[in-house]
Amino acid sequence: MAQPTSNESPVLPPTAPAAVSRGAALLELIYAAATDPEADPKAALEQIAGMCSAGIADIARWAPAGMRAAAADAAQQYGGSQ
């Protein structure tokens, strides 16, 4: 497993369960932004894109590219496409 980089911000969680918890929290924020009936759709999409970009960069600091690529196939079960 990749070791976290400590000199970047935000500081990475110290363990895999903590990292997964942070990922889950990010997904909850994304879901909330996507389902807010009072939000401006364009602003919500920009907010979601920014959160996704930051989350992907955070994950890339932990998981090697090959591992992420293999996981992308498994992620298709959630209905996404690449």
pTM: 0.70
- Rg of the Cα trace of the chain? 14
CB within 8 Å of 9: residues ≥ 6 apart:
none
* Separation in Å, CA 43 to CA 30, 56, 71, 81: 13, 20, 29, 23
- Each of the 82 residues of the chain gets a pLDDT tens digit; together they read 555 555 567 777 788 788 888 889 999 999 999 999 999 999 999 999 999 998 888 888 878 888 888 888 888 888 765 5
Q: What is the pLDDT of residue 26?
A: 93
Q: What is the pLDDT of residue 19?
A: 82
Q: What is the pLDDT of residue 80?
A: 62
Report the SS3 class of residue 35.
helix
- Name the residue ranges covered by the structural domains of the chain: 16-73
